[in-house]
Amino acid sequence: MTSVGLLLVDKPEGPTSHDVVDVVRRAVGVRRVGHTGTLDPFASGLMLLCVGWATRLAEYVTKLPKTYRGVIRLGQRTDTDDRTGAVVAENERWKDLTSDQVRTALDEQRGELEQLPPAYSAKKVAGRRAYDVARKGGAPGLKAEAVTVHRLTLCDYELPDVTIEIECSSGTYIRSIARDVGESLGTGAHLWGLRRQRVGRFDVADAVGLDDVTSDKIVAAIRPPEQAVAHLATAELDAGARAALSHGRSVEWGIGAGSGPVAVMVEGSLVAIAEPREGQLWPQKVFGG
């Protein structure tokens, strides 16, 4: 067993993402624990935590696509775009909607979008968190950002609630999807429920819960750090190459020019993350001795 690697956690509704990190820190006695993407307190589902020196791999996990199951409630708009906020507008126009109208509104949320983050979000504007500005009654001045919705499926339709499953790029706000669907339908809407089902190839069904956390249970569930970068290109090299990389030198790599980081392995263990340039690998991060 080891306290270095990737941990899949099934976050329940209620605690913050930082609460989950603190629980794991106490359970394994390791200070270096970090999440790779937050979930709002009202949401549940999969969180990927990096433990020990694997926290240096968090940036590669964060960018993985996410899959969610969510419930959009039509007829009420809230200031947070979810059920935790105050209702700022309400109507019953949803009673006259047809399923075709709902599907059309969902269709508009597929593909490459310019999405405006919620006012109550952790986005920074001029050095301040948007939610700090919003809580004081100000306008955060957020700008739309490019996101991609790879798949959006209507799973259930029992108005005023619409249940969807969505696969999207990192950085996509499902609260904004709910808000924009409500705007398109003229009813207003907010996100009533949210559960993250997958991050990349990792599934919540394989995650450990927080209902019965013990040190042994958590440590046994930690996966090797190699799994955190399994989606990257891989270079299998020898111990000599490892020594060169650890001293900041490049090594030969016969692939030629590449794009994106490369996970460097020696005898199946991750030893570095490197950048491919003109047939060579240049070290970005080196792990171990």
Task: Kindly list the catalytic residues.
Answer: 40
Provide the residue type at 200 as one letter.
G
Are 44 and 194 a contacting pair, CB within 8 Å?
A: yes
Residues 53 and 4 sit within 8 Å (Cβ to Cβ): yes
Of 23, 11, 27, 21, the residue nearest 49 (C-alpha):
21
* Closest among 78, 51, 103 to 227, alpha carbons compared: 51
Q: What would the two tokens of residue 190 be?
A: 């907010």
Query: If you search the block for the tokens 């240049």, which residue do you land on?
Result: 282
The contacts of residue 95 (CB under 8 Å, 6+ apart) are 159
What token pair was written down for 151? 């798949």
Three-state secondary-structure class, residue 228 = helix
Q: What are phi and psi of 186, to 5 degrees?
A: 75, 15
How far is residue 54's CA from residue 75's CA, in Å, rounded to a whole number? 44
Three-state SS at 133 = helix
SS3 letters for 35-63? Answer: ECCCCCCCCEEEEEEEEHHHHHHHHHHHC
CB-based contacts of 74: which residues, under 8 Å, 6+ apart? Answer: 94, 97, 159, 160, 161, 162, 181, 182, 185, 187, 188, 189
Measuring CA to CA, which residue among 120, 178, 111 is closest to residue 150? 111
